[in-house]
Amino acid sequence: MASNQELEELDEKPPIFSSWPRLYIFVLICHAVIISLFYLFTKMYS
């Protein structure tokens, strides 16, 4: 069984945003932007 200290460490907030879901959404949006830019650069310079 996990101790209280271990549970508190698991429930830590992320360093940038106030919750993990917001951080995950930010990462997904960044990936979508990067993929879109690569697609556009490929179409422009091919």
Domain with 46 in it = 19-46
Domain assignment of residue 36, yes or no: yes
Domain assignment of residue 11, yes or no: no
pLDDT band of 33, cuts 50, 70, 90: very high
pLDDT band of 1, cuts 50, 70, 90: low
What pLDDT is recorded for position 11?
A: 73
pLDDT at 44 over 70: yes
Place of tokens 């945003």: 17
pLDDT at 16 over 80: yes
Domain assignment of residue 9, yes or no: no
Q: Which of 7, 6, 27, 8 is nearest to 16 (CA)?
A: 27
- In angstroms, rounded to a whole number, what is the distance separating the alpha carbons of residues 19 and 17? 6
Domain count, the chain: 1
Domain assignment of residue 40, yes or no: yes
